[in-house]
Amino acid sequence: MNNQNGLRLQRKCAFSKIFTPLTLKLGCATFLMLTASSTFSASINCQNASQTDEKVVCGSVELSTLDEQLTKRYKVAIASNQAQPAKKFEIQRSQTQWLSQRKACHFSFDCIKTAYRKRINALIALSRTENAFSWGGNYRLTPSTSATRLGSARERQPIKVLSQTDVIFNGYPWFQIEINGQEAYQWGGIICDPHFANTTFCELSR
């Protein structure tokens, strides 16, 4: 079933509760059951999802996609720390804590989405094998060109990228970074990080 036909049937289903005969109601019930368990697939077993947060994820293409991304990042983080048992254990422990945090979101889409983004960024940092660097330029207290300037990076100065923000400027997002022992923000257009190849500028480094 293509998306357009699916949307038509969803509209019909919305009216079937009042106006349509039993056969259409049964057809709608089957359709809704299939879309809930198949169309919006996630790493969660959606057919057996019992928690509210799991059901919200299974019912959203966007959240299901984030769930798949997080699962992949978690596996990479574990694999890249096999030689460091203590760090591997910490990743596993923090993942359990994160699941509790997601559960606490209940049915809040925005809360769950934010939780996924933060955890994905954290897992990227934990599995980083290539060093990010700055092309130079100012780093600031908050993600804005008008924010307080904390310092200036030298060309190709190594940095640690902590997370990508939702603040976009001239086509690139701002990033939270660690530089010279302090946390700050720098614009993605003057950062190169292979783990954020689509949102930082690495062309000149190739």
DSSP assignment of 128-191 equals: --S-EEE-SEEEESSSSTTSPEEEEEPTTEEEEEEEEEEEEETTEEEEEEEETTEEEEEEGGGE
Say whether both 180 and 198 belong to one domain. Answer: yes
Q: What is the CATH number of the domain that holds 159?
A: 2.30.30.40
For the segment 61-79, what is each residue's pLDDT rounded down to a tens digit? 999 999 998 998 888 788 7
**Residue 88: C-alpha distances to residues 69, 91, 196 (Å):** 19, 5, 23
Q: 17 in helix, strand or coil?
A: coil
pLDDT > 60? residue 206: no
**Same domain, yes or no: 76 and 33:** no
Residue 129 has a pLDDT of: 54
Last residue of a domain, one of 77, 109, 126: 126
Q: Are the C-beta atoms of residues 91 and 126 closer than 8 Å to each other?
A: yes
Same domain, 141 and 118: no
Does 53 lie in the same domain as 89?
Answer: yes
pLDDT (tens digit per residue) in 165-186 = 889 999 999 998 989 989 999 9
Q: Does residue 71 sit in the same domain as residue 108?
A: yes
Which domain covers residue 193, as residue numbers? Answer: 132-205
Q: Which helix (H) or strand (E) holds 192?
A: strand 191-192
Asked if residue 136 and residue 121 are part of one domain, the reply reads no
pTM above 0.85, yes or no: no
Q: How many domains does the chain have?
A: 3
